[in-house]
Amino acid sequence: MQNSYASRRTMTPPALYDRWLVYLVLTLIMLGLIMVASAAISTSDQQLHQPFYYFYRQLIFLILGTLLGAIVIQFKVEYWEKMSGTMIVVALLLLALVLIPGIGHSVNGSVRWIGLGVFSIQVSELAKFSMVIYMASYLVRRNEEVQTQLSGFIKPLCLMGVIAILLLKEPDFGATVVIMATVLGMMFMAGMQVRHFLVLFGVVLVAMTILAISAPYRMMRLTSFMNPWTHAYSSGYQLTQSLIAFGRGGWFGAGLGNSIQKLFYLPEAHTDFLFAVIAEELGIVGMLVVIALFTLLVIRIFYIGRQAQQLGKHFAGFVAYGFSLWLSIQFTVSIGVNCGLLPTKGLTLPLLSYGGSSMLVNCIVIALLIRIDYENRLAKLGLRDD
Q: What are the pLDDT digits (tens) for 185-194?
A: 999 888 877 7
Q: Measure the CA–CA gap between 77 and 304, rounded to whole angstroms.
A: 13
The whole-number average pLDDT for the span 171-190 is 89
- Please give the pLDDT value at position 386: 63
Phi and psi angles of residue 267, each rounded to the nearest 5 degrees, phi first: -65, 150
Q: pLDDT band at 199, cuts 50/70/90?
A: confident
- Please give the pLDDT value at position 79: 95
Strand boundaries in 167-215, DSSP class E: none
CB < 8 Å & 24+ apart, contacts of 146-155: 146/187, 146/190, 146/191, 146/192, 147/190, 147/191, 147/192, 147/193, 148/193, 150/196, 152/192, 152/196, 153/187, 153/192, 153/196, 153/197, 153/200
pLDDT tens for residues 257-277? 899 999 888 888 899 999 999
* Burial 289-313, CB ≥16 within 10 A → b, else e: ebeebbebbbebbbbbbebbbebeb
